[in-house]
Amino acid sequence: MKEYGSNVQKLADHIVTIEDKAKRTLYAHILVELMRQIHPNMRDNQDYTNKLWDDLYIISGFELDVDSPFPPPSKEALGKKPLRVEYNQQNLTFRHYGRNIDLLLEKASQTENPEDRLAFVSYIFRLMRSFFNAWNKDNPEDNVLLGQLEQLSKGRLQEEIDYIRKSGPIDAAPKDRNNNQERNRVNQSGGNNFKAQSSHNSDRQGGNSQGNQNRNRNNKFSNRNGSNNNNNNRNNNRKKPGM
């Protein structure tokens, strides 16, 4: 295998000639680690380790007899051609949207709840816009996308398309609408918590106001002491030097 070089080939050939199986297994593990270091950009996972051992068996010509963590590959699978992948025969009207848009429209047409169906169609409309921008640099108009959406849906979602054409797509998704009851419960419980926090904050504010009053009182006393000291200094300055 050319990606490992001739030195790895020589080491593999030497390991095959070692008579002691324990020593041969030890050297095989060391060689696999060396093969890993040759390609450091590969991911260090179990599949890659299995690939390294398979490559070592192939390099040795399937003559390596060691206690490896993975079974050796079969010789028949080495030259086996991959299966032929059939070409996609699905007739897509707009290829840049793909098959998933058709599947989403089929799912939306089967939705019974009108609000969920409108949210579903609005989501597909925004998704079509993102796909259109990915393949075309021009920003499409809503009428163009709605016409294509109407063509893809084959008239099954005409009511929702007319609503979007008149009022625009809605922001809510179907799963968000299903969780409205849970959100209301959270909001109700959150209101009680807010009351409890507000009362606790009022207690803090009351404590802060008392602390501010005490500070003001201390400042008054300190100001009085400072004024008395200034008066004493003035009286001392008025005395004559001989007194």
Indicate if 55 and 110 belong to the same structural domain: no
pLDDT value of position 27: 94
Indicate if 123 and 55 belong to the same structural domain: no
* Count: domains in the chain: 2
Last residue within a domain, chosen from 145, 177, 209: 177
CB neighbour list of residue 125: distance below 8 Å, 6 or more residues apart: 145, 146, 149, 164, 169
Indicate if 102 and 162 belong to the same structural domain: yes
25 pLDDT above the threshold of 90: yes
pLDDT value of position 44: 57
Indicate if 53 and 104 belong to the same structural domain: no
Q: For residue 169, tell me if it sits in a domain.
A: yes
Nearest to 108 by CA among 125, 131, 132: 125
Q: For residue 191, tell me if it sits in a domain.
A: no
Q: For residue 128, tell me if it sits in a domain.
A: yes
Q: For 88, which DSSP code? A: P
Q: For residue 78, tell me if it sits in a domain.
A: no
Q: How far apart are the first and last CA of the chain?
A: 115
> pLDDT tens for residues 74-107?
888 777 777 887 776 677 778 778 888 888 889 9
Q: Is 72 helix (H, G, I), strand (E, B) or coil?
A: coil
> pLDDT tens for residues 185-235?
444 444 444 333 444 444 444 444 455 554 555 454 444 444 444 444 454
Q: For residue 37, tell me if it sits in a domain.
A: yes
Q: For residue 70, tell me if it sits in a domain.
A: no
Per the model's pLDDT, the better-predicted residue between 226 and 70 turns out to be 70
Distance CA 7, CA 38 (A): 11
Give the count of beta carbons closer than 10 Å to the beta carbon of residue 57. 22
Instruction: Quote the tokens at residue 226.
Output: 């400072």
Last residue within a domain, chosen from 177, 195, 210: 177
Q: For residue 65, tell me if it sits in a domain.
A: no
pLDDT value of position 220: 46
Last residue within a domain, chosen from 146, 177, 208: 177
Distance CA 192, CA 26 (A): 68
135 pLDDT above the threshold of 70: yes
Q: Give the residue numbers spanning the domain of 46.
A: 6-59
Does the reported pTM lie above 0.85?
no
Indicate if 108 and 48 belong to the same structural domain: no
How confident is the prediction for the chain on average, in pLDDT? 75
Indicate if 103 and 155 belong to the same structural domain: yes
Long-range contacts made by residues 123-126, C-beta under 8 angstroms, separation at least 24?
123/173, 123/174, 124/149, 125/149, 125/164, 125/169, 126/169
Indicate if 53 and 116 belong to the same structural domain: no
Per the model's pLDDT, the better-predicted residue between 164 and 214 turns out to be 164
Q: For residue 121, tell me if it sits in a domain.
A: yes
